[in-house]
Amino acid sequence: MEPTKPYLAQQAGNAVVWRGLSLAAEKLIFLVRLLVLARLVSPEDFGLVAIGLTVITVVGQATDFGMIPALVQTPAKQKRHLDTAWSISVMRGLLITVVLLIAAPFIAELFAEPRATNIIRVLALATLAQSAASIEIATITRALHFRGLASIELTSALVNTAVSIYFARTHGAWALVWGNVSGAVAYMIGSYVVASYRPAFQISGAATHQLLKFGRWIFLTGVLGVLFGAVLRWMISRQLGVAELGLFFLASRLAFLPAQITTGVLHDVAFPVYSRLQHNADKLARVFRAMLISMLVMLLPLSFIFVTLVPGLVEHVLGNRWIETTEIMQILVLASLMGVLGDSIVPLLQGTGRPEKIATIDAFQLMMIAVFGWGIIGAFGLIGAGMAYLTSIIISQFLIVYVLYKTIEKPFSGLLSSFLTIVIVALIGAVVAFSMMVLIPGAFGLGLAAFVAGLTAIGTGLILDRIFRLGLLTMLSEPWPRLAAAVSDFIERK
């Protein structure tokens, strides 16, 4: 079987290193931000910001015509394509800002929280700033040059965090609002520093048609995807109140961190790789299996360890007013773990030009949360919100498996031994984390438990792979050749 082209493999290897490092650093920054703000800002304030961010996300996706993914998926690089995409993006940002300035009071009333009105209005400025960012980012993404993107995103995260924490004691919810706006402005400025393309305001009919042919499905999947979370937050706000929404908001932000790190790396690197391999079925299937295992290698141990450490995190770091987030956070971590297959299929379907299938999956998940959400939340409260989310994800896996088998041949061939090994490694990491927490209680023990459990999981995985010749490193060398080679060299030296 012909291997992936060395040049593409080398590019993917470089890309995953930079994307992985930048995303891990970015999420670490936001983790610190959340933990600090949890001490300074009340659950009610978090709930108000959650309403604003939910509205901005829904409206943003409802007007996102997928310009960036369309430019990544197709090889068109003419100036008229870039200028058209940028012009549409700017007009979209202006439209969102004007509409939300007018409609904010009515939207806030839907959540039964009029105090969110001005928060919604100001957060619209963040969308306006992001819409004006350099369109050349699409070209950088397709070329897998993630080093430049890393500097933009890290700068934005640092500015967001610094502003939020600085104003937290005196401004409450508004500290998070101004942090988001400042981060968006920093992203826009940084995009032109790294991607120096200077766009012109013009709209080409031919270019618009070509971009929207792919982007229309990105638009639809984006809307359906954010509606899934938005409907759930709306149900919580209406039935339980803004303080409970704040608890759910913080719990979900922390619970989804492991999945966001792994899926972020996978999607950003896999999408352009799949787009280049979309006409080679054998390579496409092999790379998908390798990337799925790559995701599981990172996500399972992280998730198992995190679930074990959640009680200590809430008790020793977040504080007593967040005690209700313990169980909901654990449920949401499991839900994100159950959704790993759905996360892995998205870049595959995008890269092979089948975004309509993503829309089908998202529509099904939205239907499930609409069917189960209201009743379960009414019966079980905040825990019910997590149960509804988990139920919707589990049921949707049947549809995802069906779509996957229709897209590539034998998607899970030869993965059983690797999967079982990763589960064993994850369980060992969780046991070590629990033992360390019992032996050394407190915040210091929490940090030490996370560090030791992580090292144990990595070491155990490498040992099992070598003893039983499972071929994990060989499989990982398909999407991440340099990373796997570095690990192999390290093992050989030992």
Average pLDDT over residues 40-56: 89
> In this structure, what are the phi and psi dihedrals at residue 410, rounded to the nearest 5 degrees?
45, 60
Q: Which two tokens stand for residue 412?
A: 């899970």
pLDDT in tens, 211-262: 666 556 666 666 777 788 888 989 998 899 888 999 998 999 889 888 877 7
- Whether 2 shows a pLDDT value over 50: the answer reads no
493 belongs to a structural domain: no
Task: In whole angstroms, give the CA distance from residue 313 to residue 318.
Answer: 7
Say what the pLDDT of residue 133 is. Answer: 79
Three-state SS string across the chain, please? Answer: CCCCCHHHHHHHHHHHHHHHHHHHHHHHHHHHHHHHHHHHCCHHHHHHHHHHHHHHHHHHHHCCCCHHHHHHHCCCCCHHHHHHHHHHHHHHHHHHHHHHHHHHHHHHHHCCCHHHHHHHHHHHHHHHHHHCCCCCHHHHHHCCCHHHHHHHHHHHHHHHHHHHHHHHHHHCHHHHHHHHHHHHHHHHHHHHHHCCCCCCCCCCHHHHHHHHHHHHHHHHHHHHHHHHHHHHHHHHHHHHCHHHHHHHHHHHHHHCHHHHHHHHHHHHHHHHHHHHHCCCHHHHHHHHHHHHHHHHHHHHHHHHHHHHHHHHHHHHHHCHHHCCHHHHHHHHHHHHHHCHHHHHHHHHHHHCCCHHHHHHHHHHHHHHHHHHHHHHHHHHHHHHHHHHHHHHHHHHHHHHHHHHHHHCCCCCCCCHHHHHHHHHHHHHHHHHHHHHHHHCCCHHHHHHHHHHHHHHHHHHHHHHHHHCCCCHHHHHCCCCHHHHHHHHHHHHHC
Q: Which two tokens stand for residue 266?
A: 């996978």
Say what the pLDDT of residue 247 is. Answer: 92
Task: In whole angstroms, give the CA distance from residue 27 to residue 156.
Answer: 12
Q: Which residue has the higher pLDDT, 70 or 317?
A: 317
Q: Which two tokens stand for residue 92?
A: 């979209």
- The single residue listed with the structure tokens 């992203």 is 187
Say what the pLDDT of residue 160 is. Answer: 92
Say what the pLDDT of residue 119 is. Answer: 93
Say what the pLDDT of residue 4 is. Answer: 45
pLDDT in tens, 358-375: 888 888 888 898 888 899
How far is residue 457 from each of residues 106, 261, 340, 450, measured CA to CA in Å? Answer: 50, 17, 19, 11
Q: Residue 274: CB partners within 8 Å, gap ≥ 6?
A: 284, 287, 288, 347, 348, 350, 351, 352
Confidence tier at 339 by pLDDT (50, 70, 90): confident
Task: In whole angstroms, give the CA distance from residue 46 to residue 13.
Answer: 38
Query: Are the beta carbons of 232 and 369 closer than 8 angstroms?
Result: yes
1 belongs to a structural domain: no
Task: In whole angstroms, give the CA distance from residue 243 to residue 166.
Answer: 23
494 belongs to a structural domain: no
Confidence tier at 171 by pLDDT (50, 70, 90): confident
57 belongs to a structural domain: yes
Q: Which two tokens stand for residue 493?
A: 């030296």
Say what the pLDDT of residue 141 is. Answer: 65
- Whether 47 shows a pLDDT value over 60: the answer reads yes
pTM: 0.76
350 belongs to a structural domain: yes
Task: In whole angstroms, give the CA distance from residue 266 to residue 107.
Answer: 35
pLDDT in tens, 266-296: 666 677 677 777 777 788 888 888 788 878 8
Range of the domain at 204: 6-486
Query: Are the beta carbons of 77 and 197 closer than 8 angstroms?
Result: no
pLDDT in tens, 113-144: 889 999 999 998 888 888 887 777 766 666 55
Task: In whole angstroms, give the CA distance from residue 268 to residue 128.
Answer: 23
Confidence tier at 333 by pLDDT (50, 70, 90): very high
- Whether 489 shows a pLDDT value over 80: the answer reads no
Say what the pLDDT of residue 484 is. Answer: 46
Task: In whole angstroms, give the CA distance from residue 141 to residue 107.
Answer: 35
- What is the number of structural domains in the chain? 1
Average pLDDT over residues 179-198: 84
Q: Which residue has the higher pLDDT, 481 or 320?
A: 320
Of 328, 327, 326, 308, the closest CA to residue 318 belongs to: 326
Average pLDDT over residues 66-84: 63
Q: For the ranges 145-149, 307-311, 333-337, 348-352, which has the lowest average pLDDT?
A: 145-149
- Whether 146 shows a pLDDT value over 70: the answer reads no
491 belongs to a structural domain: no
Average pLDDT, the chain: 80
Say what the pLDDT of residue 8 is. Answer: 47
Average pLDDT over residues 329-354: 85
pLDDT in tens, 422-453: 899 899 999 999 999 888 888 888 889 999 99
Work out the angle at residue 66's Cα, subtended by the Cα atoms of residues 61 and 70, and round it to the nearest 5 degrees.
165
Give the rounded percent of residues in the chain with a pLDDT score beyond 70.
Answer: 76
66 belongs to a structural domain: yes
260 belongs to a structural domain: yes
Alpha-carbon torsion, ordered 99, 104, 110, 111, to 10 deg:
130
Q: Which two tokens stand for residue 413?
A: 């061939």
- Whether 481 shows a pLDDT value over 70: the answer reads no
Average pLDDT over residues 77-89: 72
